[in-house]
Structures are given as structure tokens and as C-alpha cells.
């Protein structure tokens, strides 16, 4: 008869660890940020760009990128789109969430030091980029001009409004646009791509980081190429159905890549041709 300890180690890779919800804050009508601390005194050596598998007990598990925090306190911003993400977003402080991770590749931030930076985010895509922006702010002198181009569907979908103001104050050139304006919106209307043309950067030294819907990343990467960036200087975060994050379940395959293992952060040359094929 197997012991409990054996049971826990045999499938250790698939076993969520208990992390306590210490704060839950609503970012928008459909996005909630959870702050988690380990119930077992564990820490997580995560990097911006990586993700955790978050488990709502008895309901299910989904991949969610880190949107901030530190090794002891993790932040995950969750958009409510399905049964599991709704259950996770509904967790109240004091309850447990399951955590497996960190998984996947990180934003290649070190390669950006000494040059300019363009960060383009679409919708919830700002969440995986947020810890990257925070690192840049913390080491602001290591970087030249830094532009954050952020597109939301409508003004009420805008995320991290307080952060955006804070980042502006720290010397980040934040440009925003919305797909559809409302009566109170006085800013830019249109797709994120249009913001690329207005951003100031030296293409020879610029590194770009993109996260958002595939079509937005594809057009933004092409626009950045036209502006003179080397394809290898563009990094993007891909999304696919993921059920294990370990390279076993096969759902996240994209061409030769397992998005969970080889990604989610890829350089543009690895994605360029694949993203031109419909339904791959």
C-alpha cells in the first residue's frame, strides 16, 4: 500500500501546492488580481513572462502569467472568461488556491539594457508585461527611452490605471488607445499598431516586448520591423490551450514548439512564419 508521502511524490509534477489568497482586488469589470502567499512557507523564483498553473479546488486549473509580486507574494491578474477563471477570480482572502510553477520562458530583459525599449500590450496582455515594466522602473537608468503602447477594447476595459500614471511619473512614455471610445474618452482611438509610428526610439538599439491578441502582435511586430528593428529584437508572448504545462498533454503545440516549455515568450523569427498560417 502506497503511503501518502509516496502518493504526493509520484505525481509531484501535477500536484498543486497550497497558496493562500491574502488580497483580491478588482481591476476592471472582468479582471481581478489575486495576491498569494504560500500556506507551506514556500517561495517561488519566478521571472516576468513566466506563468503558473492556478487551481480552483475541485473545479479546474488554468495557466495565468505573473502580473507582479515577489518570491513570497505572487500576483496574478485573471480575466473572467470561463468556469475556472471565474472561480479563481471569486476566491476571497483566507481561502486556498492551488499553484504549480513557475513555468515557461521569461522576457529577455537583460538583452534590452543599454538601449531603448518598446512595450506593446493589448487588453489583458498588459498583465504579463506589468512585472517587466516594474523591473525597468526599478532599474530605470539601465535603459534609454522606454515606450509603453497600450490598447484596450474600450475605456472601461483599461487595466492598472494607477500603475500607468505611476509609470509615467517614472519616465515611461505611456501611449494609450482604445478600439471603441465612449463619451468620456478624449484620447486616441484605433489599434495599437498606430501608436508604433508615434513612439520615439532608436531602432538600432531597441528591444520590443509584445503581449496581446495574436493579430495585434503580428501587426505590431511587422510595424516594428518596418521601423527598422531587427526581428530578433522583438519578443512576444504566445497563448494556447494548456492543460499540464509540462509538455505532456500536447494541446499547446504550435508548429514544432510546445508553448508551455519553449514559450510562452518567443522571439519573432521563431513565430513569424507560423503566425502567417491560418488555423495552425
Q: Where are any strands of DSSP class E within the chain? A: 17-28, 31-38, 51-56, 60-65, 68-69, 73-79, 96-103, 117-122, 146-152, 172-178, 188-189, 207-211, 234-237, 253-254, 257-258, 265-267
Identity of the residue, 13 or 23, whose beta carbon is nearer to another protein in the bound complex: 13
Phi, psi of 234 (to 5 degrees): -110, 125
Task: Please report how close the Cβ of residue 141 comes to another protein at its closest, in angstroms.
Answer: 36
Identity of the residue, 57 or 165, whose beta carbon is nearer to another protein in the bound complex: 57
Task: Please report how close the Cβ of residue 255 comes to another protein at its closest, in angstroms.
Answer: 6
Identity of the residue, 11 or 186, whose beta carbon is nearer to another protein in the bound complex: 11
Please state, in angstroms and as integers, the Cα–Cα distance from residue 256 to each residue in 163, 268, 270, following that order: 37, 15, 10
Task: Please report how close the Cβ of residue 229 comes to another protein at its closest, in angstroms.
Answer: 25
Bridge partners of 176, per DSSP, are 150
Identity of the residue, 184 or 279, whose beta carbon is nearer to another protein in the bound complex: 279
Identity of the residue, 112 or 244, whose beta carbon is nearer to another protein in the bound complex: 244
**Cα–Cα–Cα angle for 115, 120, 122, rounded to 5 degrees:** 165
Identity of the residue, 61 or 116, whose beta carbon is nearer to another protein in the bound complex: 61
Identity of the residue, 61 or 176, whose beta carbon is nearer to another protein in the bound complex: 61
Q: Which of 175, 154, 178, 152 is nearest to 164 (CA)?
A: 175
Where does this chain bind another protein (CB under 8 A)? Answer: 1-4, 6-18, 39-40, 55, 57-61, 81-82, 96, 98, 239-241, 243-244, 246-251, 253, 255-256, 258, 261, 277-280
Task: Please report how close the Cβ of residue 139 comes to another protein at its closest, in angstroms.
Answer: 29
Pairing of strands 253-254, 257-258: antiparallel
Phi, psi of 256 (to 5 degrees): -80, -5
Task: Please report how close the Cβ of residue 112 comes to another protein at its closest, in angstroms.
Answer: 26
Pairing of strands 172-178, 146-152: parallel
Question: In angstroms, rounded to a whole number, what is the distance separating the alpha carbons of residues 159 and 162?
Answer: 9
Task: Please report how close the Cβ of residue 180 comes to another protein at its closest, in angstroms.
Answer: 17
Q: Which of 32, 87, 30 is nearest to 59 (CA)?
A: 87
Task: Please report how close the Cβ of residue 94 comes to another protein at its closest, in angstroms.
Answer: 9
Amino acid at each position: 500500500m502506497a503511503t501518502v508521502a509516496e502518493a504526493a511524490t509520484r505525481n509531484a509534477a501535477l500536484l498543486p501546492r497550497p497558496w493562500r489568497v491574502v488580497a483580491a482586488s478588482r481591476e476592471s469589470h472582468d479582471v481581478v488580481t489575486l495576491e498569494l502567499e504560500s500556506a507551506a512557507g514556500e517561495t517561488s523564483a519566478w521571472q516576468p513572462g513566466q506563468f503558473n498553473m492556478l487551481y480552483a479546488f475541485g473545479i479546474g486549473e488554468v495557466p495565468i502569467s505573473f502580473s507582479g509580486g515577489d518570491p513570497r507574494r505572487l500576483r496574478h491578474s485573471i480575466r473572467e472568461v470561463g468556469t475556472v477563471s471565474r472561480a479563481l477570480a471569486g476566491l476571497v482572502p483566507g481561502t486556498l488556491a492551488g499553484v504549480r510553477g513557475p513555468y515557461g520562458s521569461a522576457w529577455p530583459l537583460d538583452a534590452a539594457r543599454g538601449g531603448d525599449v518598446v512595450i506593446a500590450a493589448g487588453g489583458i496582455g498588459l498583465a504579463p508585461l506589468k512585472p517587466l515594466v516594474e523591473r525597468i522602473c526599478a532599474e530605470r537608468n539601465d535603459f534609454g527611452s522606454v515606450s509603453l503602447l497600450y490598447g484596450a477594447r474600450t475605456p472601461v476595459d483599461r487595466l492598472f490605471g494607477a500603475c500607468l500614471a505611476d509609470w509615467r511619473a517614472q519616465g515611461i512614455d505611456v501611449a494609450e488607445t482604445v478600439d471603441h471610445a465612449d463619451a468620456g474618452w478624449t484620447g486616441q482611438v484605433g489599434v495599437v499598431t498606430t501608436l508604433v509610428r508615434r513612439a520615439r526610439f532608436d531602432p538600432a538599439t531597441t528591444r520590443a516586448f509584445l503581449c496581446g491578441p495574436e493579430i495585434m502582435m503580428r501587426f505590431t511586430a511587422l510595424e516594428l520591423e518596418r521601423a527598422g528593428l531587427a526581428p530578433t529584437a522583438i519578443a512576444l508572448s504566445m497563448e494556447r490551450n494548456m492543460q499540464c504545462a509540462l509538455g505532456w498533454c500536447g494541446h499547446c503545440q504550435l508548429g514544432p514548439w510546445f508553448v508551455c516549455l519553449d514559450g510562452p515568450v518567443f522571439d519573432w523569427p521563431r513565430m513569424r512564419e507560423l503566425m502567417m498560417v491560418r488555423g495552425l
